[in-house]
Amino acid sequence: MSRSAHPAGPRHADVLPEGHYAAPAADLNALDPKVWAHTVGRDADGVVTVGGIAVTQLAEEYGTPAYILDEADFRDRARAWRTAFGADADVFYAGKAFLSRAVVRWLDEEGLNLDVCSGGELATALSAGMPAERIAFHGNNKSPQEIERAVRAGVGRIVLDSFQEIVRVAHIAQSLGKRQRVQIRITVGVEAHTHEFIATAHEDQKFGIPLADGQAAEAVRRALQLDGLEVIGIHSHIGSQIFDMSGFEVAAHRVVGLLKDIRDEHGVELPEIDLGGGLGIAYTSDDDPREPHEIAKALTEIVTRECEGARLRTPRISVEPGRAIVGPTAFTLYEVGTVKPLDGLRTYVSVDGGMSDNIRTALYDAEYSVALVSRTSDAEPMLVRVVGKHCESGDIVVKDAFLPGDLAPGDLIAVPATGAYCRSMASNYNHVLRPPVVSVRDGAARVVVRRETEEDLLRLDVG
Ligand SMILES: *Cc1c(COP(=O)(O)O)cnc(C)c1O
């Protein structure tokens, strides 16, 4: 759901009513620290730098498009979450937002745990040395092979998502002579997006076991009877890009209600509750996300209060931020290829990537901002749409933005806050090669995921 004041925008070059767009930022050369990684700034020549390196140098060395990841910022944000929640809680980074071996090592060093939701993500985590007991395995349709691999590796928890999976995991664990620690993922009938939440949402989705009709209670009843499982808690994940904490309040109330029912029926107090991820970030200057310490304080207070009301010991809390850690730490660096003014409408700016490196605009109508980064300009602002090079008119990276009117082919522009769900959702559409992820820190850059090559493409095509 878009939080924008204007209606879910037209995807093509429609004529738009007067005043449809926000006025351009006063200074197009300014870089709002809310949407850019921490070490981003401009040097004396007006060139944007990150981690002490000019983007012009990065473009020359690594080519464009490229995802540029600020390692210091990533570590800062990871540490801020860790510190905010403290020793009595766990922070699991949601690997699906962006996962690479470098990121796994940073997380390990900063004391975070890791969520994976496929065999591929599990393999990446293990190959980078993340201790298995700090990995949680998610997914609504884990294959028996994936489950076996996770159990053998000794993952700290598997989050069970269906009645069939309860039996499947129990059986596999038992056949391996193990007792697997599990959480049960429930849907509490809360749906949260950005600024609004629905407390009475239908549980009409593929994830989790509905609290309604006693299904979640029945799942716990069955799981508690199986020797292959050690039930350690209940899991709830309510949405994405959330700014409003009230959805968590309702979710926690309902999860704690279930914990109380479990205590009353079985005489056990489950020791953990996981409130999932979904915390929002600033994609544009209009977004005002909360700081990790505010989120930690709010969630801890909510759970503590609910447990006191239910006369339960407060369980260990865990959270699973993905976007909120990696999202703001990277930007996508593009070179402008063509600039096509359409009289009375807008100017189409084509870049050397597009929906293959950022599908979120096409998929979710997501909003992004953009800036000219290879120089400054005092030219008049022009209304632009930043589009890619794909054979698809919905191939839009930034729907509505302002860039300087003297923008020209060869200029470098960058789209901030592309750290989450861009490289991880990237495709080879039109056989376009997926961009590299280049991490920068203290004046040094290194490739953490290299650019795809034509050989990579042709290697899969066995003729
Ligand atoms: C997607 C997901 C997350 C992470 O969501 P973000 O919006 O990136 O914070 C966490 N937990 C679960 C179960 C998820 O499905």
Residues 401 and 258 occupy one common structural domain:
no
User: Atom of ligand 1 at shortest distance to CA of 280?
Assistant: 7
Residues 272 and 154 occupy one common structural domain:
yes
Overall domain count for the chain: 2
Using the structure block, give the residue that is written with the tokens 């499947």.
168
In angstroms, what is the span from residue 181 Cα to ligand 1's centroid?
Answer: 20
Residues 64 and 144 occupy one common structural domain:
no
Question: CA 208, 241, 424, 77 torsion: positive or negative?
Answer: negative
Q: At what angle do helices 144-153 and 119-127 cross, to 10 degrees?
A: 20
User: Is residue 98 included in any domain, yes or no?
Assistant: no
| pLDDT at 195 (0 to 100) | 81
Backbone angles phi, psi at 399, to 5 degrees: -70, -55
Q: Is the CB of 350 under 6 A from ligand 1?
A: no
User: Is residue 110 included in any domain, yes or no?
Assistant: no
User: Atom of ligand 1 at shortest distance to CA of 323?
Assistant: 8
Give the CA distances from residue 404 to residues 37, 333, 370, in Å, rounded to whole numbers and listed in that order. 22, 17, 11
In angstroms, what is the span from residue 342 Cα to ligand 1's centroid?
Answer: 40
391 is catalytic: yes
| pLDDT at 200 (0 to 100) | 83
At 405-420, the pLDDT tens digits run 999 999 999 999 999 9
Residues 299 and 388 occupy one common structural domain:
no
User: Is residue 218 included in any domain, yes or no?
Assistant: yes
Q: Check residue 144 and report its DSSP letter.
A: H
Domain termination residue (choose one: 321, 342, 373): 321
The residue nearest atom 10 of ligand 1, judged by CA position, is 277
In angstroms, what is the span from residue 209 Cα to ligand 1's centroid?
Answer: 17
The residue nearest atom 3 of ligand 1, judged by CA position, is 277
Q: Is the CB of 277 under 6 A from ligand 1?
A: yes
At 20-44, the pLDDT tens digits run 555 676 799 999 999 999 999 999 9
Residues forming a β-bridge with 414: 333, 371
Q: Is the CB of 114 under 6 A from ligand 1?
A: no
Residues 307 and 221 occupy one common structural domain:
yes
Asked whether 422 and 329 are in contact (CB, 8 A), the reply is no
In angstroms, what is the span from residue 321 Cα to ligand 1's centroid?
Answer: 6
CATH code of the domain covering residue 393: 2.40.37.10
Residues 358 and 302 occupy one common structural domain:
no
Q: Is the CB of 192 under 6 A from ligand 1?
A: no
Q: Is the CB of 321 under 6 A from ligand 1?
A: yes
| pLDDT at 92 (0 to 100) | 98
Residues 242 and 298 occupy one common structural domain:
yes
Q: Is the CB of 360 under 6 A from ligand 1?
A: no
Q: Active-site residue among 117, 307, 391, 422?
A: 391
User: Is residue 26 included in any domain, yes or no?
Assistant: no
CATH code of the domain covering residue 222: 3.20.20.10
Residues 168 and 278 occupy one common structural domain:
yes
Q: Check residue 221 and report its DSSP letter.
A: H
| pLDDT at 23 (0 to 100) | 64
Q: Is the CB of 328 under 6 A from ligand 1?
A: no
| Amino acid of residue 455 | E
In angstroms, what is the span from residue 42 Cα to ligand 1's centroid?
Answer: 33
| pLDDT at 22 (0 to 100) | 58
What pTM was estimated for this model as a whole? 0.94
Range(s) of the domain holding residue 419: 41-70+328-460
Residues 288 and 341 occupy one common structural domain:
no
User: Is residue 194 included in any domain, yes or no?
Assistant: yes
C-alpha to C-alpha distance for 133 and 135, rounded to whole angstroms: 6
Residues 306 and 387 occupy one common structural domain:
no
User: Is residue 103 included in any domain, yes or no?
Assistant: no
| pLDDT at 17 (0 to 100) | 43
The residue nearest atom 7 of ligand 1, judged by CA position, is 278
Using the structure block, give the residue that is written with the tokens 């745990």.
113
The residue nearest atom 2 of ligand 1, judged by CA position, is 277
In angstroms, what is the span from residue 54 Cα to ligand 1's centroid?
Answer: 33
**Burial letters for 409-428: b for 16+ Cβ neighbours within 10 Å, e otherwise?**
eebbbbbbbbbbbbbbbbee
C-beta pairs of 210-213 under 8 Å, 24+ apart in sequence: 210/186, 211/186, 211/187, 211/254, 211/258
Cα atoms in the 13 Å half-sphere on the side-chain side of 77: 26
Q: Is the CB of 237 under 6 A from ligand 1?
A: yes
Residues 187 and 271 occupy one common structural domain:
yes
Reading phi first (left if > 0) and then psi (alpha if -120 to 50, else beta), residue 92 is in beta
Domain termination residue (choose one: 265, 293, 321): 321
C-alpha to C-alpha distance for 227 and 369, rounded to whole angstroms: 52
Domain termination residue (choose one: 268, 296, 321): 321
Output the six-digit token pair for 46: 């007006």
Residue 322's nearest CA partner among 139, 119, 96, 44 is 96
Give the CA distances from residue 286 to residues 34, 35, 283, 364, 399, in Å, rounded to whole numbers and listed in that order. 10, 10, 8, 18, 15
Q: Is the CB of 138 under 6 A from ligand 1?
A: yes
Q: Is the CB of 275 under 6 A from ligand 1?
A: no
User: Atom of ligand 1 at shortest distance to CA of 322?
Assistant: 8
In angstroms, what is the span from residue 140 Cα to ligand 1's centroid?
Answer: 13
Residues 292 and 334 occupy one common structural domain:
no
List per-residue pLDDT tens for the chain, 463 residues long.
333 333 343 333 344 444 455 567 679 999 999 999 999 999 999 999 999 999 999 999 999 999 999 999 999 999 999 999 999 999 999 999 999 999 999 999 999 999 999 999 999 999 999 999 999 999 999 999 999 999 999 999 999 999 999 999 999 999 999 999 999 999 999 999 888 888 888 888 899 999 999 999 999 999 999 999 999 999 999 999 999 999 999 999 999 999 999 999 999 999 999 999 999 999 999 999 999 999 999 999 999 999 999 999 999 999 999 999 999 999 999 999 999 999 999 999 999 999 999 999 999 999 999 999 999 999 999 999 999 999 999 999 999 999 999 999 999 999 999 999 999 999 999 999 999 999 999 999 999 999 999 999 999 999 9
